[in-house]
Structure formats: C-alpha cells, structure tokens
Homo-oligomer: A and B are copies of this chain.
C-alpha cells in the first residue's frame, strides 16, 4: 500500500490551453478532391482564376438594347440563352432577347426586363424604361487573382461552392490526425450489456468517437484492462505503432490512485508528463503529455469530465494540429435564468444550453451535482465557464461559453 501521493501543480484552464498551443504545431497539408473536403481545414489561399462573373451577364429575362438608343419599337435579331456565346454589335433599333445569366453580345448595353415590354414575334415595344442596366458586370464580384479565401477556415458548404466556382477542385487541407482512443476501467461494460453490481455502461466510447467524427476523424478505439502489461499487449495486438499516433486519448485511469495506470503507461511509451491535474472542475485529474510532436491526454472517466475535457482541451489541440485560424474558444451570452451557485474555489466548466429567440441568444446552466452525472448531456449544446468562487448570478449576467454543437 502506498502513502498519499504528492499533490502535483494544478493548471488553470488558461494555462493548460496556452501549453497546448505551445506543444502542438499544425500538421502538413495534403491535396484532396473537393467532394471530400467538407469539414476539412483549408491550408492555401484561394484566388479567383478569372474575373467573377467572367463576362457581362443579364440579371433577368429581358431584352438587351444599346444604352444610347432611345428607339421605342425594336427588332429582335437574336435570342440568347445562358451558355450561349454570340458576340455582335447591336445597331440602333435592334434588340437581343436574353435569358437570365446569358452572356450579353457586347458592351454599352442595357437589359429591359421582359415585364416592361410588349413582344409580338420579332417586334418588341418598350412600355417602360428605367435607368437600371440589369447587368451583372464582368469582375464585379471579384477580379482575376484576387484572394477570396484565406487559409485556416473550416470548409463549409458555402466555402466549397466558392472553391468549385473558381475551379479549385483539389484544395490543400491539413491531413487528418491519427487518433487512438484507449478506454480503460474494470467497471465498464459495453453499452448493450446490462451492468451488474459495481458496473456501469461505457458511454465515453461513443462520446469520443462522435466528437472526433465532427472533425472528420475516425479514431482507432481499443478497450483495455487497467493493467500496464495488458495495455501494452492490446496496443501490440492492434499493431498500433506509437510513432504514428498523433493524438492518444486515454479514458479513465487519470487520477492518482493505485490503479491509475495512464501515467505509468504514457511514461513507458516515452511521453513526458506536463499536466497531471487542472484547477477546473469537472476534469481535475487530467493528464497532458507529449512526445515530440505527439500529444496524449488522460481524460478522467466520469462522463461530464469527459465532455468538458474533450470540448475544451482536446478541441484546442485539434484546432492547433489542424491549423485552424486562431479565434477565441469562448464567447459570452447573457444568462437566461438566475442561478444560486455555491461558490467553488475552482473554475467550473458547466454543461449548458444555448437557445436563440427573437430577443437574442441566451444561456441556461443545466443541473449537475458531480462529474459522474450524465443526464445534463441530453440537453447540453454548450459548455459555460464560471470563474473560481463565482457567487450567485443574475439573469442577463454575461457568461463565457463555447458551443458543443457547431462545426469546429
């Protein structure tokens, strides 16, 4: 039996995030087909390959006439659909029927909307003419060579559409980190089994996998017994080469009891321990270690601690490894319901719910008692951050939070 272990330094959330930023460097990029790039982090500037739009286009269905032509009745000399390309110089009294998006036959034209004309065969009478030219001019959205997207953005549907429009069909994106997730805990049974005395179901495997999937990462997940030799054997059987693991996540076994093997195991693998506990709750007994550019987290097994550590620390590590543009991890929203919290000496990462209505975005702090609680996760879509020794909070008080449901 051991004596009580020494109390390692407790790292604040800020200190831990700063250390993660320092330990991680963005991975190299790779070129992938645009169709597979959703959710990936762009690592190149994307420029317009030609003027956007590339030619003067009609903004409506109508009739193109010369700007300097004050004729009232025109003769229709051509009909242009979108996709047609038939340049011609219009004479006074001549008009060309143009569909929305059609390339105009020349410069110095105006499009009269079809609603404003009377057309009989090729004879077109203008009933109403106003100064609008109804043309989308070449280059009015962007000039050839202009930078349209900076590196570091997460490729959304809209950004992918933009890349498609300029022919950037093999964008450079950060390669995906290789992640191994090791689930330890003798009390854990698979979630399709009924736990018996002393056991609980594994909820962390699906939490971690789903969290990583939102980053397009498919982790290798390995359940292991709480035993150093057995852990090593499992990794060997799975043929996991530790040198190829960019991010190692270990669920459970993170506190300082006799049976917490994470520390010892990371040491055998050659990792240097940096953080052994944080000054925040839940997630106090969290381990952060590194081995060259490779990072490892020992995440306390309790569900709320897992949720909090993933969404704060692991998220920060992934943002950094992926080269995501540096934006604040936390923002603030006003508190929807006053809360009479018991002041806690530690900073608190509190499961929360963000709701938006006609009066803006508000945050509700959800009920929880212990890091082992899980029911708050049914409604949580955010994680609030309460300062150490926060007392009661009033409705409208600004509360820092991060969304746990957004695209990363």
Report A's interface with B, CB cutoff 8 A. Answer: 1-5, 7, 34-35, 38, 46, 48, 52-55, 57, 59-61, 76, 81-85, 97, 99-103, 114-122, 136, 140-142, 148-149, 153-154, 156-162, 164-167, 169, 185-188, 191-207, 209-211, 213-214, 226, 255-259, 301-303, 306-307, 310, 327-328, 330-334, 351, 355-361, 369-370, 372-375, 377-381, 398, 400, 403-407
**A159 vs B116: C-alpha distance when bound (angstroms):** 56
Identify the closest chain B residue to A1 (Cβ): B119
Question: Is A331 a contact of B357 with CB atoms below 8 Å?
Answer: yes
Instruction: Return chain B residues, CB-CB under 8 Å to A379.
Output: 149, 153
**A154 vs B193: C-alpha distance when bound (angstroms):** 25
Instruction: Return chain B residues, CB-CB under 8 Å to A302.
Output: 101
Q: A4-B118, A160-B210 are in contact. Are A356 and B328 (CB under 8 A)?
A: yes
Selected from B4, B59, B199, the residue in CB contact (under 8 A) with A83 is B199
Selected from B192, B213, B331, B381, the residue in CB contact (under 8 A) with A360 is B331
Report the minimal beta-carbon distance from A158 to chain B, rounded to whole angstroms. 3
Instruction: Return chain B residues, CB-CB under 8 Å to A359.
Output: 332
Question: Is B370 a contact of A136 with CB atoms below 8 Å?
Answer: yes
Question: Is A255 a contact of B361 with CB atoms below 8 Å?
Answer: no
Interchain Cβ contacts under 8 Å between A and B, 5 examples = A59-B370, A148-B378, A157-B310, A161-B307, A331-B358
Q: Knowing that A97-B258, A162-B375 are A-B contacts, what are 6 other residue pairs whose CB atoms are under 8 Å apart, sorted by A's residue number?
A: A1-B121, A55-B198, A141-B375, A149-B379, A165-B374, A406-B407
Instruction: Return chain B residues, CB-CB under 8 Å to A213.
Output: 38
Where chain A touches its partner, the secondary structure class is loop
Instruction: Return chain B residues, CB-CB under 8 Å to A255.
Output: 60-61, 100
Question: Is B185 a contact of A164 with CB atoms below 8 Å?
Answer: no
Question: Is B381 a contact of A185 with CB atoms below 8 Å?
Answer: no
**A405 vs B97: C-alpha distance when bound (angstroms):** 40
Selected from B97, B161, B331, B360, the residue in CB contact (under 8 A) with A206 is B161
Question: Is B81 a contact of A186 with CB atoms below 8 Å?
Answer: yes
Question: Is B378 a contact of A201 with CB atoms below 8 Å?
Answer: no
Identify the closest chain B residue to A301 (Cβ): B101
Question: Is A405 a contact of B156 with CB atoms below 8 Å?
Answer: yes
Question: Is B59 a contact of A3 with CB atoms below 8 Å?
Answer: no
Question: Is A165 a contact of B200 with CB atoms below 8 Å?
Answer: yes
**A119 vs B257: C-alpha distance when bound (angstroms):** 13
Q: Which of A55, A201, A373 is the most central at the interface, judged by chain B CB atoms within 10 Å of its CB? A: A201
**A380 vs B162: C-alpha distance when bound (angstroms):** 11
**A154 vs B405: C-alpha distance when bound (angstroms):** 10
Question: Is A259 a contact of B156 with CB atoms below 8 Å?
Answer: no
Question: Is A100 a contact of B404 with CB atoms below 8 Å?
Answer: no
Identify the closest chain B residue to A3 (Cβ): B119
Question: Is A82 a contact of B186 with CB atoms below 8 Å?
Answer: yes
Q: Which of A81, A158, A328, A400 is the most central at the interface, judged by chain B CB atoms within 10 Å of its CB? A: A158
Instruction: Return chain B residues, CB-CB under 8 Å to A199.
Output: 83, 85
**A159 vs B378: C-alpha distance when bound (angstroms):** 5
**A213 vs B157: C-alpha distance when bound (angstroms):** 9
Q: A164-B201, A206-B164 are in contact. Are A374 and B102 (CB under 8 A)?
A: no
Question: Is B404 a contact of A406 with CB atoms below 8 Å?
Answer: no
Report the minimal beta-carbon distance from A31 to chain B, rounded to whole angstroms. 13
Q: Which of A52, A59, A102, A361 is the most central at the interface, judged by chain B CB atoms within 10 Å of its CB? A: A361
